[in-house]
Amino acid sequence: MWQLILTDLVGLWVVIDPIGTIPVFISVTKNLSAKQRRNTAFKAVAFAALILMFFLSVGQILLETLEISLLSFQITGGIILFLFALSMIFGDSKPQQEEQLELEAGVDCAVFPLAMPSIASPGAMLAVVVLTENNRYDIYSQMVTASAMMIVLLATLLLLLSAGWILRIIGKSGAGIISRVMGLILATVATEYILSGLKLYFQST
């Protein structure tokens, strides 16, 4: 049992990447108050948990019903993630007159890009479907995977709540630099999703 939990924890930690979410969180909440950042962190993790639980519970059934292969889902998710990464790299900084609009709409960033695709990334959604595949794992193993997922999400929440002091140290300019660097890394990860999906597709044909 402990080996299964440890395996799921390591695998889900890599694909959810709680530490990698911190720069994205800092970037999209840099104009929010401390209270708004806390609320955004809770909402982002809550939405991500709902998304991942949905895919864990009915993801395989939904994909099979729609006759969508896991490889197609992986490639599509990689493309979406790549497009978002480009917006992080090349997006212009908001001028002062737009900062208030960003502040008022700040709660929306809890859903996009934090809950999805940062926390509940295409890789994370794909992982929970694969780790709970009905043909390979029984209910007990699926419950273990769900528990491991919630532990990783809890760790993500704790890291996001502690991101405030990082923002105070690096400032808004530093957050902008981190955002662009993170966008480059995210684009690389997205490219890996696409290439690995294409490779497996051509190997299976």
Condensed to tens digits (0 to 9), the pLDDT of residues 192-205 reads 878 988 998 888 87
CA–CA distance, 102 with 20 (Å, rounded to integer): 23
CA–CA distance, 36 with 50 (Å, rounded to integer): 21
Tens of pLDDT along 45-101? 999 999 999 999 888 888 788 888 877 877 887 787 788 778 777 865 433 333 443
CA 99 vs CA 13, 48, 176: distances in Å: 33, 26, 14
Predicted TM-score (pTM) of the model is 0.71
> By C-alpha distance, which of 92, 113, 118 is closest to 189?
118
Phi-psi region of 185 (alpha: psi -120 to 50; beta: other; left: phi over 0): alpha
**Cis omega (within 30 of 0) on the bond before 95?**
no
